[in-house]
């Protein structure tokens, strides 16, 4: 009988977007330590190079490519690279995301477009790149990193939450349409120590999010362990939705 906490991760090929820092980097290092072969995509190649070096120093297997998830061709190239290098793709983790928080009537249309392109369109492009490979193999796992912002709607986060809830909806739709052929998991983190707040243009919101994170945020490795737990289950077991947040978060 297998040990209770033994996870089936070793040897799996896992594509991770937004892998250059924060949650994405933690997922990469955690899975590589468990024997997964990780394929990393992000826009900051110098960060990816340093992360790959760290993984290799610990005897992990890793390749990476510059990837802008708002460009469909970039996702296709990333998944194709994974398959050509390792012969298959077992998991895609759609992690890349941005937050531009402001009142809706402030009409930050540029911020709306950025969030739609990365948070929603980027996930769809990841799915479009990976699912044909999964269908050909007869197996695969889509893991979408969502957010607790979609579970509790508050002022200043309306459009951000809308993009995350769109991902929640399409995750469930994909799960049902796959009819057991593929696994789909949505993971909703709360406050996590990451660089997400650093790119918020609204100074008041940037400071407020940074203050809340400083006070209560969990480490990105906690989210990475949740991802590992989900993808490490036996092939016939699917974890659909995981919410992971600080105990102090309301």
Residues recognised as catalytic: 160
35 vs 191: CA distance, rounded Å: 28
163 vs 217: CA distance, rounded Å: 22
* CB neighbour list of residue 187: distance below 8 Å, 6 or more residues apart: 143, 144, 145, 146, 223, 226, 227, 230, 241, 242, 243, 244
- CA 122 vs CA 31, 35, 125, 153, 218: distances in Å: 22, 27, 5, 22, 25
Cα 76–chain centre separation = 17
Place of tokens 């402001």: 102
Joined together, the tokens standing for residue 146 give: 């969502």
Q: Residue-wise over 159-181: b if at least 16 C-beta within 10 A, else e? A: bbbbbbbbbbebbeebbeebeee
Residue 155, classed as helix, strand or coil, is: coil
């Amino acid at each position: 009988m297998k040990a209770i906490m033994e996870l089936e991760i070793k040897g799996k090929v896992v594509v991770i977007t937004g892998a250059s820092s924060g949650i994405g980097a933690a997922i990469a290092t955690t899975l590589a330590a468990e024997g997964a072969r990780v394929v990393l995509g992000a826009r900051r190649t110098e960060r990816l190079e340093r992360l790959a070096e760290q993984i290799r120093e610990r005897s992990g297997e890793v390749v990476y490519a510059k990837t802008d998830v708002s460009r469909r061709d970039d996702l296709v190239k990333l998944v194709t690279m994974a398959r050509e290098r390792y012969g298959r793709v077992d998991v895609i983790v759609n992690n890349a995301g941005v937050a531009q928080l402001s009142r809706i009537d402030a009409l930050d249309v540029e911020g709306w477009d950025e969030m739609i392109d990365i948070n929603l369109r980027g996930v769809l492009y990841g799915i479009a790149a990976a699912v044909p490979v999964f269908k050909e193999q007869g197996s695969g796992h889509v893991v979408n990193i969502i957010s607790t912002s979609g579970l509790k709607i508050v002022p200043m986060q309306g459009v951000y939450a809308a993009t995350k809830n769109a991902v929640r909806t399409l995750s469930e739709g994909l799960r049902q349409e796959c009819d057991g052929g593929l696994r789909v998991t949505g993971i909703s983190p709360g406050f996590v120590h990451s660089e997400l707040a650093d790119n918020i243009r609204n100074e008041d919101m940037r400071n407020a999010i940074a203050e809340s994170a400083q006070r209560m945020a969990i480490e990105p490795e906690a989210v990475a362990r949740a991802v590992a737990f989900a993808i490490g289950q036996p092939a016939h077991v699917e974890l659909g939705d995981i919410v992971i947040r600080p105990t102090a978060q309301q």
